Amino acid sequence: MSDLLAARSQMAMSLAFHIIFAMVGIGMPLLMVLAEWKHLRTGEAVYLDLAKRWAKGTAILFAVGAVSGTVLSLELGLLWPGFMKFAGAIIGMPFSLEGFAFFTEAIFLGVYLYGWNRITPRAHLWAGVLVAVSGAVSGVFVVIANAWMNAPIGFVMRDGVAVDIDPLLALTTPAALPQTLHMTLAAYAGTGFAVAGIHAFFLRRHGRSGFHRKALGIALRMAIPAALLQPLSGDLSAKAVATLQPAKLAAMEGQFTTERGAPLRIGGWPDEAAAQTRWSIDIPKALSILAFGDPNAEVQGLDRVPRADWPPVAIVHVAFQLMVGLGSYMALLSLWALWSRWRKRDLANQRLLLLAIIAGTPMGFIATEAGWVVTEVGRQPWIVQGVLRTADAVTPMPGLIVPFLLFTVLYVFLGVIVAYLLMRQFAVAPTQTGTFRRPTPPAGTTPAGATAVAAGD
């Protein structure tokens, strides 16, 4: 493995690990705030219990996300000194603002966790609101920095050097709005369906549990609007990519030839050697319509891009198809749930719908991972689109395979720890409204462990 590939692999793995915690850091605070708000409105203890449980889960994931985010920050400087030297003065501002948002989130998460019965209920709820808002804002600033890498503005290149730098103008890169909107909705949809899937799983076993019914309802109230809006934001993102990064769009669609009335391809496998996409289902003119709103619009193919500047077409195309497929599943699942609700059917008693929600548990996270593969791999061989190549930004230090392997072990270890801690959060499973019972231990083990506890304990 070359040092460049090792550096890229380590960065990809770090981002793939961290993005899960970033998504949960945006979505979970909103869920715990909604649960507490419902408790204050109705006085029902089950909502209070939900808020406390989700707050504990948020704290665990926040702590690990802070660690993995710090690792990412260090890697930017250590693995990509060329990038930081070129871009630091231009795009450093959103990273600084992200730091303020992160500290705000950390401070008010502490107030929220330790403020129960110590501050007024209204003040406590507002602390949760600030956690939710600052978590979302933190993610927005990070995505703006990435959007600038896809559509860099705010400087002038003169003799190979960036001059006339305007950091405020850099924040307004035309890729910022579509990317931040798409990512924020992905966080709410992915986290919402993950939480809904967990409680749907318990509802199939304990259909009378009021705890899981209410948890499922709150999670779906966050997931469904986000999942239904996501195709619209995806269309906005695709139009931006068509204008700002035509080579990336061509790789996403497996479009090797520039043509008017370009088809939309579903599935298929791009053959770079033959410069064609095989076995796809083509919808005539649909790509021209979606990208430019004109059935006869010209869509640039990879034939207008120097071969050395092609991104890995097959990887980008497959990742894009996976993202769209999973996003479509969540949107259709949302319509199914809404239709059932409109027919006044009890969602908790529809076992097929619950099974579909359970199947959707990981889909938001997988779709987001695939989306970031499209974003990052589709920009190659550039680390800053059209300005700085990835190979020119990597550190000259040899032996990068070693830190790559060490960080892989670290992330596996952290993943196991997080899974264990979260499983402990669900070890006490409600079976009836207001009653919680620990799982029955295997025969021959301590029977005293199967203890019923009161709600809220």
Q: One digit per residue, pLDDT tens: the chain, 457 residues?
A: 889 999 999 999 999 999 998 999 899 999 999 999 999 999 999 999 999 999 988 888 888 888 888 888 888 888 999 999 999 999 888 888 988 999 999 999 999 999 998 999 999 999 999 999 999 999 999 999 999 999 999 999 998 889 999 999 999 999 999 999 999 999 999 999 999 999 999 898 877 778 899 999 999 999 999 999 999 999 999 999 999 999 999 999 999 999 999 999 999 999 999 999 999 999 999 999 999 999 999 999 999 999 999 999 999 999 999 999 999 999 999 999 999 999 888 888 889 999 999 999 999 999 999 999 999 999 999 999 999 999 999 999 888 899 899 988 888 888 888 888 777 766 555 544 444 444 444 444 443 333 333 333 2
C-alpha 130/C-alpha 336 separation (Å) is 33
Q: What is the pLDDT of residue 430?
A: 56
**Residue 437 DSSP SS3:** strand
CB 422 within 8 A of CB 57: yes
Q: What is the pLDDT of residue 149?
A: 96
C-alpha 363/C-alpha 231 separation (Å) is 15
Cα 109 to Cα 119, 125, 128, 448: the distances in Å are 14, 11, 7, 35
C-alpha 190/C-alpha 60 separation (Å) is 18
Cα dihedral 271, 272, 276, 282 sign: positive
CB 286 within 8 A of CB 264: yes
How many Cβ atoms from other residues are within 10 Å of residue 194's Cβ?
Answer: 22
Q: Which helix (H) or strand (E) holds 454?
A: strand 452-454
137-140 contact pairs (CB < 8 A, 24+): 137/101, 138/25, 138/98, 138/101, 138/102, 138/105, 139/22, 139/25, 139/26, 139/180, 139/183, 139/184, 139/187, 140/180, 140/184
Q: What is the pLDDT of residue 456?
A: 32
Q: What is the pLDDT of residue 286?
A: 95
Give the ranges where 172-209 is alpha helix by DSSP (H): 176-205
C-alpha 47/C-alpha 423 separation (Å) is 20
> Torsions phi, psi of 320, nearest 5?
-65, -45
Tokens describing residue 216: 């499922």
Beta bridge partners of 381: none
Tell me how far apart the terminal alpha carbons of the chain are, to the nearest angstrom: 52
Q: What is the pLDDT of residue 455?
A: 33
240 Rama class: left (phi>0) / alpha (psi -120 to 50) / beta: alpha
C-alpha 382/C-alpha 82 separation (Å) is 12
How many Cβ atoms from other residues are within 10 Å of residue 300's Cβ?
Answer: 18
Q: What is the pLDDT of residue 207?
A: 72
C-alpha 226/C-alpha 364 separation (Å) is 11
Provide the angle, in degrees to the nearest 10, between the axes of the packed helices 401-425 and 3-42.
20
CB 403 within 8 A of CB 10: yes
- Look at the block and give the residue holding tokens 């500290």: 103
Strand 276-278 versus strand 298-299 pairing type: unpaired
Q: What is the pLDDT of residue 201?
A: 92
Beta bridge partners of 282: 265
Alpha-carbon dihedral of residues 7, 8, 14, 15, nearest 10 degrees? 150
Instruction: Give me the amino acid identity at 390.
Output: T
